[in-house]
Amino acid sequence: MDWSKRREHFRALLAEGRCFYPASVFDPISARIAEDLGFEAMMFAGSIASFTVLGAPDVVMLTLTEFASQALRICRAGNLPLLVDADHGYGNALNVKRTVEELEIAGVSALTIEDTLLPAPFGAREGKDLISVEEGVGKMRAALAGRQDRNLMIVGRTSAVSMTSVDDAIARAKAYAATGVDAMFFAGVRTRAQLDAIASDLKVPIFLGGAGAELYDRDYLASRGVRICLQGHSPFLAAVRAVHETLKALREGTPPSDIKTIAAADLMKRVTCEAAYDKWSKEFLG
């Protein structure tokens, strides 16, 4: 498939000067629903990948191969550009380079590489630590070296706002931006004062995750150079609740005909592309 065209489209979207809320997706069906509803782009988070693929918490148990395989399934299900959270690049700077290579092949349009110390080492304090700025710069340089398609966006990421300070986050972002990354992702920005400080010192596009409630104003975000703002990952959490409640009802004796929250037949036909498969069956099978 020609992944480069959707990467071009993603870059064109960001060049419009607007802020987008991408759809949080986790599999081909959720990707098709996002496209059907008119979302401009999608997001596949590392935590959601761990939940979906392993049924495990977000403690960096997932491998690059598992993550890239699920990203490929999502990408080939439709046409929307996909932004992914590639965590720490699954190791050191050399692993980061390979991570970019694998995810580029998988079809993603943009990926983030963060400077969190992962996985947690023996004797680590409660919570997380950051790697040094120097190591972070090395990871960004390796990520850029691993890219073959220049339309693929490499996004530096830091959680320094919530872990150290806004000043540290800005210093890290400037160092990463100097390597040539296409944008900077900030996790944990909670206030307008924090974002204003970041935006005044940064020239590359800004992506946000875990943003505070007062930040959810698209016009304000766009004016501060924010081009992507995540809205959390409620679709997967809602899906888990729906499955749990449905199985619980069935286990307790509710007749299947009384389950009123199942997807309608026409919706299932749409998200599974039944019409296309019917057409191909007639064309190729006679």
For residue 282, count other CB atoms closer than 10 A to its CB: 9
Buried b (16+ CB within 10 A) or exposed e, 68-107: bebbbebbebbebbbbbbbbbbbbebeebbebbbbbbebb
Q: For residues 200-217, give the mean pLDDT.
A: 97
pLDDT for res 123 = 80
Q: What is the token pair recorded at 42?
A: 């999608």
Amino acid at 180: G
Residue 76: name the closest of 131, 6, 19 by CA: 6
Mean pLDDT of the chain: 97
Query: What's the rounded Cα separation, in Å, for the pair 117 and 24?
Result: 25
What is the CATH number for 34?
A: 3.20.20.60
Sheet holding 82-85, edge to edge: 23-24, 42-44, 82-85, 110-114, 153-158, 183-187, 206-209, 226-229
Question: DSSP class of residue 192?
Answer: H
pLDDT higher than 90, residue 64 = yes
Q: Which residue has the tokens 């694998």?
A: 102
Domain interval for residue 107: 3-117+131-238
Q: Please state whether the peptide bond connecting residue 119 to the residue before it is cis, i.e. omega within 30 degrees of 0.
A: yes
What's the pLDDT tens digit per position in 107-152?
999 999 999 999 988 887 666 799 999 999 999 999 999 999 999 9
Q: Is residue 224 part of a domain?
A: yes
Which helix (H) or strand (E) covers residue 171, if one does? Answer: helix 166-177
Q: What is the token pair recorded at 132?
A: 């040094």
Q: Which residue has the tokens 């703002």?
A: 229
Asked if 147 contacts 154 with a C-beta cutoff of 8 angstroms, the reply is: yes
- The answer to whether the predicted template modeling score (pTM) of the entire model surpasses 0.85 is yes
pLDDT band at 181 (very low <50, low <70, confident <90, very high): very high
Q: Is residue 107 part of a domain?
A: yes
pLDDT for res 44 = 98
Q: What is the token pair recorded at 38?
A: 């008119």
**Angle, to 10 degrees, between the axis of helix 133-146 and the axis of helix 166-177?**
40
pLDDT for res 35 = 98
CA 255, 261, 267, 273 torsion: positive or negative?
negative
Quick one: what percent of the chain has pLDDT higher than 70?
99
Question: DSSP class of residue 130?
Answer: B
Report the Cα–Cα distance between both ends of the chain, in Å, rounded: 26
Q: Is residue 279 part of a domain?
A: no
Domain count, the chain: 1
pLDDT for res 122 = 86
